[in-house]
Amino acid sequence: MRVLITAGPTREYLDDVRYLTNASSGKMGYALAQAAREAGWDVTLVTGPVEVAPPAGCRIVPVLTTAEMLAAATSAFKDCEGVIATAAVCDYQPRERVAGKISKTGSPITLEMIETDDVLAALGRVKGRRWVMGFALEAQNPRENALQKLRRKNCNWIVLNGPAAVGADENDVELLDPVGEIQGQWTGAKLSIARNLIAWIDRHHPKST
Point out the residues that are catalytic.
22
Kindly tell me the sign of the dihedral angle through the C-alpha atoms of 79, 82, 86, 88.
positive
Cα separation, 72 vs 195, whole angstroms: 25
Structural Rg of the chain based on CA atoms: 17
Residues 6+ away with beta carbon under 8 Å from 109: 102
* Cα–Cα distance for residue pair 37/1, rounded to 1 Å: 10
Rounded to whole angstroms, the Cα distance separating 39 from 45 reads: 15
103 in the Ramachandran plot: left (φ > 0), alpha (ψ -120 to 50) or beta?
Answer: beta
